[in-house]
Amino acid sequence: MRIYPEKPKNVYFFGTCLVDMAYPDAGMAGIRLLEREGLRVVYPQDQSCCGQPAYNSGYMDEAREVARKQLDSFPRDWPIIVPSGSCAGMMHRHYPKLFEGDPDYFRAKAFSNRVFELTEFLVRVCGIRLADKGAPVTVTWHSSCHAMREMGIIGICKDLIGQLENVTLVELEKEYECCGFGGTFSVKQPEISAAMVRDKAEAAFRTGAQVLLTADCGCLMNITGALDRMGLAMTGKHIAEFIWERTNG
């Protein structure tokens, strides 16, 4: 069981590649939620990828090189907040294994203990309470594989949604099945990946919800892309952006 720190004054924010390239509003929403909790958020400009694509492809030397860059980019003993269960899982769970037998092992171990997924940190450390200012809406929830199996945060995400008075959450059939993205999996196995995301998009649409929420931008990009290609009228959002929009103003 993870032991959480006292609420700090300063935190780092790890933006993730997909937030940087495709979903900047999700990242900014995460930063604003943390700032609203009274925290000073520092975004190191020289951060880059968490190293997961190389790690999952078996390129351990290359993954270590990228990961070591992150060890250097977050030098102070502050929590590192990540708006992605996938990248958080890589840095929290896999960095120590990646550096076993390496002179940087203990540095990586200390780094990994400072990594928290955004919603996990908001609830477990900040004790966030949400006041919903939005119109009634029905949503459904997709549990990303890493958020569920490596970070164990799905209950936290749903509890946060439950704090929003005017939001109705309907359960998604096949919620716990992968959407087929899997980073490099979608590149290596495109036909299987496409079939998996079609199943996920159809299941999401059958819920009748207006919005699909998730804590990972990779899944969000994959599922909303499928919804669009299939002509299914349903939008998707990262949970941070959704919460910020409904509680700000």
Reported as a single tens digit per residue, the pLDDT across 130-155 is: 999 999 999 999 998 988 888 988 89
What local confidence, expressed as pLDDT, does residue 174 receive?
A: 84
Segments in the chain below pLDDT 70: 249
Per-residue pLDDT tens digits for 84-115: 999 999 999 999 999 999 999 999 999 999 99
What local confidence, expressed as pLDDT, does residue 148 receive?
A: 87
Residues whose CB falls within 8 Å of the CB of residue 100, separated by 6 or more in sequence, listed in order: none
What local confidence, expressed as pLDDT, does residue 2 receive?
A: 87
What local confidence, expressed as pLDDT, does residue 233 receive?
A: 94
Q: How far apart are the C-alpha atoms of 101 and 44, rounded to whole Å?
A: 28
pTM to 2 decimals? 0.95
- 239-247 and 24-36 helices cross at what angle (nearest 10)? 50
CA 148 to chain centre: 10
Q: What pairs with residue 13 in β-bridges?
A: 81
What local confidence, expressed as pLDDT, does residue 249 receive?
A: 67
What local confidence, expressed as pLDDT, does residue 178 receive?
A: 93
Structural domains in the chain, CATH included, are 10-125 (no CATH), 137-248 (3.40.50)
Q: What pairs with residue 39 in β-bridges?
A: none
